[in-house]
Amino acid sequence: MWKTSEAFDLALLQSSRKWSTKIEVLYGATVVTTLDSLISGYIGIDDVAVRRECHFTISDADGILTPKTPTDLLTPKGTEMRIWRGLWVTQADGVSGYEYVPMGVFGVVEPEVRSHSDGVVIEIKGFDRVDKLRALHFEDPWVVADGTPVHTALADIISDRMPDVSIRVTPSDWIVPEIVFDRLSSPWDAIRTLCESAAYVAYFDQLGQAVVEPITEIETGVTYTIGASSVLMNVSRKFQPSEKVYSGVITRGQHPDYTPIRAELWDEDPTSPTYADGPFGRRPYGVWSDTIVSNEQAAAVCADTLPRVSRMLQEVQITTRGHPGHEIYDVFTVNDPRSSTDARYAVVSGTIPLVTVQGEHIRLRCREATQ
């Protein structure tokens, strides 16, 4: 979750709040203009390849922004939008103003111009920088040398394909064998292959920076509950369907230059609903990768994966007037006596409105935290 000031957090609890959305239009590293005629819009977050996306509509009464040719600013020629959501706060020293939370950097992918009796509007859809990275195919075969640390292999691909983007990297203990990715293949497919072998994730954060790190849930310390100063509105909770739940993980590594690897880990807790030797039965989840080269690495993948696919984790969807700066895998507590919900949950998707007339309600879908 984006770190905000104490004044911001206190302002969130007020019954009356004043919001602002700022959309900077970037071409290269230059802010060309700022869009100030927003009619509607939202930010979507999800734990898929494109972690962040935006959808919004602006008016263009004088026709300056309306794209007419493929070379105009608001076309998919590499134009990006940096979006911020601001809350009016009064700091301890009495100074007031908007405190902005970054919502992401998005490439324009699908602008649509519509005219009607009230004027012209432009609908814009944008995806985070993963979308561009996926399209920047390797021009020649990409070779990862034997013994390369997996975090180095991941960062090298991103820096080669997107040299102007900064990268934050958490080192890994695991190495990868020699592996070759075909010319004209997608760098994102290579990144997914490498991440799977080390329980890593690569994504672009709220400021558009590339991040390479272990799959990790982040404790925020936030509790969403009901009460006098509550920002929690609605809660729905359900159990995962049994076909999506497992009682064990089998990991295999099979690279031609290394001895085949196999590791397995089962839910051996008799009190667990997915106890492998109980009524639930032995239902294995499989992980196969030709970049796993040691028994220790395979065992680590099993240990990381099992808590996320076993124990029949519950999912919860909440509607809240809470913080707009949540990130995927943020962990918070949901306490709602009405639905008998009281547990820690990790964010897996959400929708954040950009215009107050659409309401202030943020919708978050979460699953039970495992860490």
| Average per-residue pLDDT for the chain | 94
- Kindly list the domain boundaries of the chain, sorted by start residue: 6-128, 133-214, 242-309
Quote the pLDDT of residue 240: 87
Residue 299 has pLDDT above 80, yes or no: yes
What amino acid occupies position 146? D
Q: Report the b/e string of 223-261 with b at 16+ CB within 10 A.
A: ebbeeeeebbbebebeeeeeeebbbbbbbbbebeeeeeb
146-186 pLDDT, tens digit each: 999 999 999 999 999 999 999 999 999 999 999 999 999 99
Residue 90 and residue 70 in contact, taking contact as beta carbons nearer than 8 Å:
no
List alpha helices for the chain, DSSP H: 6-12, 130-135, 150-161, 187-196, 295-309
pLDDT tens digits along 247-270: 999 999 988 888 899 999 999 999
Band of pLDDT at residue 326, cut at 50, 70 and 90: very high
pLDDT in tens, 42-51: 999 999 889 9
| pTM of structure | 0.92
Q: Tally Cβ neighbours within 10 Å of residue 356.
A: 12
pLDDT at res. 124: 95
Q: 133-214 has which CATH code?
A: 3.55.50.10
Record: fold of 6-128: Thrombin, subunit H (2.40.10)
Q: What is the pLDDT of residues 199-210, one digit of tens each?
A: 999 999 999 999
Please state which architecture CATH assigns to domain 242-309: 2-Layer Sandwich (3.30)
pLDDT of residue 15 exceeding 90, the answer is no
Residue 321 has pLDDT above 80, yes or no: yes
Confidence of residue 242 (pLDDT cuts 50, 70, 90): confident
